[in-house]
Structure 1
Amino acid sequence: MSSLEMTLVGADILRPDGVEIGGALALGGGDIQPFESGRQIDLSGYRVMPGIIDCHGDGFERHLAPRRGAMKQMGEGIIAAEAELAANGITTGVLAQFISWEGGLRGPEFAAKVFDGIKSARSRVVTDLIPQLRFEIHLTEAYETLPAQIAAWQVPYVVFNDHLPHDRLAAGKKPPRLTGQALKAGRNPEAHWQMLKDMHARRTEVPELLDQLAAVLTEAGVRLGSHDDQTGDGRAIWRNRGVRISEFPETLKAAEAAQGAGDHVILGSPNVVRGGSHKGNASALDLIAMGLCDALASDYHYPSPRRAALMLAKSGLLPIEQAWGLVSDGPARVLGLTDRGRLEPGKRADVVVLDADDRVAATLSAGRVSYMNGDVAARFLG
């Protein structure tokens, strides 16, 4: 479906400086227009919000592999995932895929299929899908070929992860759930255990490899992030490599160090909805209250960005334009997407329509309908 020319009237519209009661929003050519044109759509009783930009989400995995070993054709899985994104008001979605020693759904072979699937599905979806590579830094054998692969997959955003259980490995103790993890990867548990020990033993090789990789990717214009920062000193090391995004910092000190140096901080919206981290890390609510958050991401649960933003506004912690900005304008800045995130002329026509119960009634990405439900569909269809 092509982008529509129309004017949404009668709704409460979230502008950059607050809510416009009973306003009008003109859409045409995929953008927000300065003057009313086209057919008028009466959205009285609804709220019109900027489209949600999800800057990190891996909830799409269940669409690609609904059960272990039951893999969908990648293109079909991506299209199914896009339907869930749209139903939750997400107009731009970053799909975060691992390349990890963990293997299975996080192995290099599966990742290649996912990134190729995203490329092939782009022409068939409305939501803007952006691939993100989550790279496990102790997979030393991958460094040599990774830059060329990232370019071929058209991945603009790479995040560095370290999920090795270093403390237990240093103590010679097997990590919990080792057998299950090995079987998921199709490995013998003892072989998996030896692999973990070998990677831990080679950990001194990793910093130099990271320095070289980060320099190459920065030169290529790839955006870089670190995951689960724990200390201010650790964040400074990442920053010196050109890694300017801190995803889900685990401590107040790490978040303060990131923002104090002008880096972006992304927090998990499920943390906000739950009222705290399920792992006992820093509370997103506390960090937001201290001004230490640039963007909220779905992480693993696509309904959470909308719910988190509305909770922040209803609680009085932030005015609605700032709360919703954490899932729209803020992520746009983090990702360098200057063409979206606000409902103002010249920006992309990325729009979410909420009903009186704050449920998503319609989603438009660049003026094209990606989701529509219930009474609002009758208003659009006339």
Structure 2
Amino acid sequence: MQLTLTGAEVLRPEGLQVSPLAMHDGLLVADPVGRHVDLSGYRILPGIVDMHGDGFERHLAPRRGAMKDLSQGLASAEAELAANGITTATLAQFWSWEGGMRGRDFALRFLEALQAYQGVGTDLRVQLRFEYSMLADYADFEQAVVDHAVPYVVFNDHLPHKALAKGKKPPRLTGQALKGGRSPEAHLALMQGLHDAMAQAEEAVAGLAARLAAKGVILGSHDDNTIEGRALWQSRGVTISEFPETREAAEAATDGAVLGAPNVVRGGSHSGNVSAADLIRAGLGDALASDYHYPAPRQAALMLAEEIGLQRAWALVSSGPAALLGLQDRGELNVGKRADLVVLDEQGRIGATIAAGRITYLSGAVAEAFMR
């Protein structure tokens, strides 16, 4: 598509300015080309780069077992992503002892479906969230990362260690067991065995991290809550800290901290952790991620813009995450970058999303401007 957008305020690296924005062959170009569209009264911002989102799960399985054709679910998820201004989406897929949609077999099925999926333009990428207590899965997991060129792996530990150490039944055991296709007794025995072998897992994950890092895989840890814990992950080459739970852990995440956009929108963590907005006000955090709600990055950035300015706030959902993911070709509206952008009206509503020069979402008065 050859297109020049005129009249709008454009968020360039140097700030907002009214200037034409031209695109050709999926890239931003210096000189006006093709058809001109007058977007006076609107703002054009870089497309949102989402580093971590699992909102796609509800598209793949709106009800338990209703997931015959994953490509249809991916198409539905892509439509929601585009409607929320997301041009690069990292789909965070579990590889977990929880089973079901978060188990090994579904993860492999998801990887196959995503590899075969032909979308409308959104860059759909994958992050595998590995429960590193699963020692028996290390070889299969590592092979899957290689076979599917997975660019981003995050190490999780969601075992209820306190309950297991006391020999108690963890909360929600029965419901979780049913989702995993197990009896409550079998599920509890599985968790207990993984808990008992955590010392071995702590040794094994260091080797796994080293091997994946040598292959160029970006590595992250999840829910860091202490300085010592973050330092341990960093010593293993695990650079990114996703959703640090305390200010101390966020301060220790010197290689990159990803915060939850829903935390900002809610006004705090739903689980009692540190406020993402407070961290950002303190100059901490490099990216905001959708986590479980795709509208949240846009909402959070616009809310924060009232305090810290649009330039810095929008960087948390565009250039910041792009840099952490090693994507130097996007995140800013600069000549030579990918034509990834979103058009907002005065109320901050999305009228258009363009990914690599392709229109992925178009609505309302902005659609009328394109059709004139």
- Report the TM-score, using the length of structure 1 for normalisation: 0.96
- Report the TM-score, using the length of structure 2 for normalisation: 0.98
C-alpha displacement at 1:154, in angstroms? 2.1
- Native 8 Å contact 2:5 2:38 kept in 1: yes
Counterpart AA for 1:124: G
- Residue matched to 1:29: 25
- Residue matched to 1:349: 339
- Residue matched to 2:229: 234
1:41 maps onto 2:33 in alignment: no
- Residue matched to 2:150: 155
Runs of 4+ that moved beyond 6 A: none
1:281 maps onto 2:273 in alignment: yes
**Matching residue within 39, 46, 58 for 1:50:** 46
Q: How does 1:184-223 map to 2 (within 5 A)?
A: 184-223=179-218
**Matching residue within 105, 108, 126 for 1:112:** 108
- Per-residue deviation, residues 221-246 of structure 1 (Å, max 9, x unmatched): 10000000010101111001110000
Counterpart AA for 2:203: E
Separation of aligned partners in 1, 2:322 and 2:187:
40
C-alpha displacement at 1:258, in angstroms? 1.1
Q: How does 1:1-382 map to 2 (within 5 A)?
A: 4-20=1-17, 22-121=18-117, 123-259=118-254, 263-314=255-306, 316=307, 318-382=308-372
Separation of aligned partners in 1, 2:274 and 2:119:
40
Separation of aligned partners in 2, 1:258 and 1:226:
10
- Per-residue deviation, residues 78-137 of structure 1 (Å, max 9, x unmatched): 11100100000000000000000000110111111111111111x333100111100011
Separation of aligned partners in 2, 1:273 and 1:61:
21
Separation of aligned partners in 2, 1:46 and 1:124:
27
- Per-residue deviation, residues 262-284 of structure 1 (Å, max 9, x unmatched): x1000000000011000000100
Percent sequence identity is: 58
C-alpha displacement at 1:145, in angstroms? 2.1
Separation of aligned partners in 1, 2:305 and 2:3:
29
C-alpha displacement at 1:381, in angstroms? 2.5
- Per-residue deviation, residues 341-374 of structure 1 (Å, max 9, x unmatched): 0011111000100112211100000110101011
C-alpha displacement at 1:198, in angstroms? 1.1
Separation of aligned partners in 2, 1:131 and 1:43:
34
Q: Which runs of 5+ in 2 are unaligned?
A: none
C-alpha displacement at 1:378, in angstroms? 2.2
Task: Give aligned pairs, total.
Answer: 372
Counterpart AA for 1:290: A
Q: Determine helix, strand or coil for the equivalent of 1:282.
A: coil
- Native 8 Å contact 2:297 2:317 kept in 1: yes
Q: Determine helix, strand or coil for the equivalent of 1:143.
A: helix
C-alpha displacement at 1:31, in angstroms? 0.7
